[in-house]
Copies of this chain bind each other. A is one copy, B any other.
């Protein structure tokens, strides 16, 4: 069973788990970790490492590429065969995690998230709608 450690600056991971649960219901697979002001990368490592040993397969989802949470999770993914690390945490991505966690292997889940992640950001294209409305005038 895959567990998902979420880690980002501040308490963003905790807030995001709460948001997921507002939409999806109970999400016990998500394990949020804070990274508070004044903490250093070693603090993140100290929080994540015990969770890795407790679980068979772990996906670490962090906030952004190049940040301390991602750097630490990459180091841990390299050191542990049962760990994959991705970055770019968002609510649509976490909802995709919850929808697919029971059906995909750890590696397939990570690859799938990168694929769907490319389409998470969308703009409401009002120009198209306004043009369409003009057609009916």
Contact = CB atoms under 8 A, between A and B. Distances in A.
A23 interface: yes
Contacts of A129: 78
Interface residues of A, number: 48
A124 B122 CA distance: 24
Contacts of A114: 121-123
Nearest to A95: B64
A94 to B, nearest CB: 9
A123 B86 contact: yes
Nearest to A23: B9
A33 interface: no
Given A78-B126, A118-B118, A12 B88 contact: no
B23 A15 contact: no
Contacts of A121: 86-88, 90, 93, 113-114, 117-118, 120
Contacts of A23: 9, 67
Interface in A79-122: 84-93, 95, 110-111, 113-114, 117-122
